[in-house]
Structure 1
Amino acid sequence: MRPSPDPLPRPDARPWTQVWRTPATGTTWRVLTHEPLPPALREELVALIDAYEEVFSRFRPGSLVSRAAAGRSDTGPITLDLPAGSARMLDLYDRLHAATAGRLDPLVGSDLVALGYDESCTFVVQDGALARLGAAGGRPVWGRDAHHDGDRLTLERPALMDVGAVGKGALVDLVGQALEAAGVEQYVVDGSGDLLVRSEQPVRLGLEEPRAAGDHPTATPRVSGVIGVVELRRGALCASGSYRRTWGPGLHHLLDAVTGLPVGGERVPVATWAIAEDAATADGLATALFLTEPAVLAAAGFRYDFALLRGDGTAAVSRGLTALPGELFTA
């Protein structure tokens, strides 16, 4: 499902001899470079990631989004002054929310909690959850109950944001920007499978075949091989899959925000890969492909390439994939 964490070998490519690892977003991230990262830069990256999670991680009780969700509903709107540059992510959510007819919504945090994917990862569906899930169940809705002016976000009532559809990619972009500001011109940022590439030579990335991991979302999915490849010099490749982070029949982290229920069905993808200029956009589109057709996203102005596998065993790729070059292998 996700891009291969190790670029596939090319005989004409300079090897990525330096690999720096750090914990982030509940997993391990890597930065691949040709030269070692200076200690001061590594410390800067650790601080950047920690500061980001202090704002946007719903798994941290003291984060800004967690505190906004715990606010009282009788005290009026809640104003969040987000870090500089957050407007870009909020604008992207505006576009994705509109393009998917409201099915992609960062205010699905309470739905995930009700289904068991909560701060403590209990993975136990709460009593009466079905009656209050999604926009249909009265949960706050992006665009109606949330408004932003630049980096300032206003919630009309308490709501739990889950920025997972875009947020990991946005953080990958921030790490890339920090590397470039420090003079690192060639790198691969691997945010646990969300990849940002800056390289003089093409970096060949494998698309892993999805295999179920079992019922627990922290289990490691089985990988039987590479089912496609993409080559990038500059760009991002992000992936999403409904078989990751599952904790019961039909329970996974990819929700339709209108119903609040996990997406499913034979024609719904089980795995998607999106290629865009930046990781935030690629990350968001990889999720949006579960909720609407690729042509609808293109008509909304998104410029991207993609590959996807559906539940009925069929596949689809964009016309531009072969020009990257890239391909999805077929039998």
Structure 2
Amino acid sequence: MPHSGWSSFSFEGIGTQWEISTPDALPAGDQNRLLETVEEYDRTYSRFRADSLVSGLSREPGRVALPEHAASLHSVYAALYRLSQGAMTPLIGSSLERLGYDAGYSLQPSGTAMAPPRWEDALDWSGSSLVAKEPLVLDIGAAGKGQLVDLLGAVLRSAGHSDFLVDGSGDMLHAGGHPITVALEHPYNPRQAIGTIELQNSALCASAANRRNWGDGLHHVLDGTTGQPIQTTVATWTMAGNALVADALATALFMVDPARLEEEFDFAWLRVSSAGAATFSSGFEGRLFS
């Protein structure tokens, strides 16, 4: 948790709760820049609002110009699409909508699970330029919140803040000379923790099947090759130099062997299987409760 005596700025954005913690209260100008950054990101990528840039692609194919930071998002997604052999894809939105996780939060499946279009068939994405060859539902939720955490951290740094914690409902970026202790939420009981970890000058992100689930066995982490919810893993935590990578890898751990990911990414991890077994990397220096 943030250091005792720190000031917190809390708000809602992209459908989740945010808390920015700093030693002193943030000036109004800094708060406004943070809120504007969140609104711009939501207006670009949200599939839950009809006026977003990507929502237009679900109605009509074509070319859109994304913000410059989309190049980093593309790079991470392209690598994980390759490493997962298509299981992790930014086109998973149509599969989520079919299972009921749609713009209206109906949570009522409209049919059986179905794989989304293949990236190579439906989408050309190069840096900040994106071309949809057919109407498609882009969903960058597996890494987008992490990238937004990083963008908010950049806003704070540009305003001269060197000590802070950006917390987007458990996806965190810490900066400063003193570490904080973070509890790792139990995947089946959010009121309990399975352990703790020290976070300092790095990012910590998590993904869990219990965070957004509905119906019998339905949750938001899907296999892009089938459109089916993944049932073998229930929760993951990752630590990396930035939250974009940590967030993306937290999802990738549901579908890719950790050793394969470690060949291309520098990160530490903890994974809990549906059978309750916890495995972790040598660099994950946390404490797990017995």
Give the TM-score taking structure 1 as reference length. Answer: 0.85
Q: How many residues align?
A: 290
Deviation at 1:16, TM superposition (A): 4.8
Alignment equivalent of 1:320, drawn from 277, 283, 286? 283
AA paired with 1:20? F
Contact 1:53 1:63 in 2 (8 A): yes
Calculate percent identity across the aligned residue pairs. Answer: 38
Determine if the alignment matches structure 1 residue 287 to structure 2 residue 251.
yes
Residues 186 and 200, structure 1, Cα contact 8 Å, conserved in 2: yes
Higher relative contact order (CA 8 A, sep 6+): 1
Q: Is the 8 A contact 1:206 1:226 kept in 2?
A: yes
Q: Partner amino acid for 1:230?
A: I
1:34 maps to 23
- What is the letter of the counterpart of residue 141 of structure 2? G
Equivalent residue number for residue 63 of structure 1: 52
Aligned mate of 2:227, from 246, 260, 281: 260
CA distance in 2, matches of 1:229, 1:303: 21
Aligned to 1:45: 34
SS at 1:197 equivalent: strand
Question: Aligned-pair distance for 1:327?
Answer: 2.7
Counterpart residue number, 2:167: 190
- What per-residue deviation string (whole Å, max 9, x for no partner) do you get for residues 198-242 of structure 1? 02011111111122xxxxxxxxxx434221121122110000111
SS at match of 2:124: strand
1:15 is the counterpart of 2:4: yes
Task: For 1:229, give the aligned amino acid.
Answer: T
Gaps of 5+ in 2: none
> Structure 1 residues 310, 158: closer, same or farther in 2, change over 3 A?
same
CA distance in 1, matches of 2:279, 2:46: 33
Q: TM-score, structure 2 length as denominator?
A: 0.96
Written as runs of structure 1 = structure 2, the 5 A alignment for 1:67-216 is 67-71=56-60, 78-126=62-110, 128-130=111-113, 133-134=114-115, 139-211=116-188
Gap runs ≥5 in structure 1? 1-5, 8-13, 73-77, 212-221
1:274 aligns with 2:238: yes
Aligned to 1:234: 201
Q: Distance in 1 between matches of 2:22 and 2:108?
A: 41
Q: RMSD value over aligned CA atoms?
A: 1.3
In structure 2, C-alpha distance between the alignment counterparts of 1:312 and 1:16, rounded to whole Å: 40
Query: Are the counterparts in 2 of residues 31 and 190 from structure 1 also a CA contact under 8 Å?
Result: yes
Which amino acid in structure 1 is aligned with residue 117 of structure 2? P
Q: Whole-Å Cα distance in 1 between the matches of residues 180 and 278 of structure 2?
A: 24
